[in-house]
Structure 1
């Protein structure tokens, strides 16, 4: 049986209220000798403090809730690592929830709502939403988080949000995609197809808008725009659909247009889709970059393990996590923070 606080109080010869103030972290603490006596009694008896009681005493649980889409995705794991680093400096612990695995009978938004509701019930000091926000925010989530903020909680979102009172880390998705397309155009690439990702997610939509904006400014129209999941499988399937649509039949065949127009370049809305695209190209006997070039977005840490090196727009993913945590832990900060990155041209787009 767990040791009760009443037993500690009895062993130390103090009241239950005094023992609670010492062990649950209340701002009202008794004299040092009494506090030491209570701590010694707790150590002798093997008492483990009640986290909820401590939270009530301190008005803080020292917990941060982090919601990601897919825990296994290197994009989210890098961001989570950054959150943990900042949280540790502030002596906070991070609770992690993923929304990619929905339970039976759960609809869109239900998994995230369940995660948010759990974090609120655990009285976390702050909640960070790292998953891409939907085009239309779930009103249930907005309502729950709005009430949480009104009660003193902090909410930080990656990207634009309609959640009232939430702080935002703004990421240069549209501008970064345009910069990547501009860099490829400057290298003489003129034929593009886009793997657009999920159209209901703001991150995917903004990146596609950036690609299209840059291409349009150069009087270039993408040969195909194909949607798909923000996963390796999504990139694989979207690439096969793209190849079939454009009539790519095998090695050395350049598809629509003239042979001297150069190889097609596939612009994927994230790196994981781009890696899936390269697998799909290999399955059709196509070479990267000789037959088809590929570019992604994010510069996830695992890219160093892939060959050829993937051209991408590099985001400082761990820094994004750190910034989000700092915003979450700074009650006086309400401003939007903007994160930009840089174009990385590698072998997948013909770099030597």
Structure 2
């Protein structure tokens, strides 16, 4: 039976990610001591990278695979556009696959892309927090990289992949502080499911900024939902119902940690005749094109979605070592205040 990269990692007592970086090269550095240990294990086991397969993958792949949750979501659509533009400039075709946030579908897609020998895979969907899922995905992607494929991720998917770092936590904290500066003290927060690392990072930013002011959302004012318009509307309905049933005041500010969710929040508040921002301020996250078309225009956190996709392609196609591009692949976040937010009680 052929020796695999996983065998080498176990023999060396290191992670699969470390073994891959030591033998295949990555923008993420490995100490010389660990590299020597991995190489020694590879020699002892007789492991050889599949050079013919690597050469075949590099020479024949004219496609970049893009894995995202939902191409109809403007957040992912913006990223996909950036990937497509950068791929076209490199003379490549981008193949977009929607997984609906299902890690099993993502795993199957990775295996199919591997079988079709795509040049590179861009992971544009949210990373997952489930350890068993992460392990399976890492193993599938390690096998792909072992045969010459390249992988880049948007947001941190772990040390195995070159990553476009996105300031999700920092942006959410900055948005919360901007609302605090307006005078808000009663907050509701709508975030995504716990399985999504992006949702957790953004929530951590909100809670950190609130904690700095000695605040925390009261019971029922922190809602989890899918990052969809329907999810945002249902979460806002629960927030209003909880407040009215318990006799507590409504929040003066609602932070929905995706613009699509925030669109649902605005729809629910409009249906209940609750004025925005006169009674409740609403803010989102991402600054998708729809944000300025909503009524009122949505305050949000702006991410450079297309540039994030372009950076990911550049990372995936980068040849050789060095960290110059990786070090500059940090996607900043900018708070943009529009008509959906105001100081409480100013109307």
**Per the alignment, do residues 57 and 94 of structure 1 end up closer, same or farther by CA in structure 2, a change over 3 Å counting?**
closer
SS at match of 1:175: helix
Alignment pair present for 1:226 and 2:218: no
Aligned to 2:235: 238
Distance in 2, matches of 1:96 and 1:58, equals: 20
- The offset of 1:60, in angstroms, is 2.6
Alignment pair present for 1:280 and 2:268: yes
How do 1:258-273 residues align onto structure 2 when only pairs under 5 Å count?
264-273=252-261
Aligned to 1:120: 114
Alignment pair present for 1:348 and 2:336: no
Distance in 2, matches of 1:83 and 1:114, equals: 21
**Per the alignment, do residues 153 and 57 of structure 1 end up closer, same or farther by CA in structure 2, a change over 3 Å counting?**
closer
**Per the alignment, do residues 58 and 140 of structure 1 end up closer, same or farther by CA in structure 2, a change over 3 Å counting?**
closer
Distance in 1, matches of 2:251 and 2:197, equals: 30
**Greater CA deviation, 206-215 or 329-338?**
329-338
SS at match of 1:313: strand
Distance in 2, matches of 1:291 and 1:169, equals: 38
Aligned to 1:202: 197
* Structure 1 contact 270–296 (Cα < 8 Å) conserved: yes
Aligned to 1:160: 156
**Which of 291, 296, 304 lines up with 2:292 in the alignment?**
304
Structure of higher RCO (CA pairs closer than 8 Å, 6+ residues apart): 2
Q: TM-score, normalised by structure 1?
A: 0.76
RMSD: 2.2
* Structure 2 contact 57–118 (Cα < 8 Å) conserved: no
For 1:114-163, what per-residue CA distance to the aligned partner results, in whole angstroms no more than 9, with x for missing partners? 2111111110110001110111352222111011112211111111123x
How do 1:145-184 residues align onto structure 2 when only pairs under 5 Å count?
145-162=141-158, 165-184=160-179
Q: TM-score, normalised by structure 2?
A: 0.77
Distance in 2, matches of 1:331 and 1:268, equals: 39
- The offset of 1:348, in angstroms, is 0.5
Q: Give the unaligned 5+ runs of structure 1.
A: 1-54, 102-107, 250-254
Distance in 1, matches of 2:58 and 2:302, equals: 41
- The offset of 1:227, in angstroms, is 0.5
- The offset of 1:305, in angstroms, is 2.1
**Greater CA deviation, 209-218 or 92-101?**
92-101
The number of residues matched between the two structures is: 282
Distance in 1, matches of 2:130 and 2:151, equals: 18
Aligned to 2:277: 289
Decide which structure has the larger Cα Rg and report it.
1
Aligned to 2:70: 70
Distance in 2, matches of 1:153 and 1:213, equals: 39
**Per the alignment, do residues 218 and 60 of structure 1 end up closer, same or farther by CA in structure 2, a change over 3 Å counting?**
same
**Per the alignment, do residues 173 and 122 of structure 1 end up closer, same or farther by CA in structure 2, a change over 3 Å counting?**
same
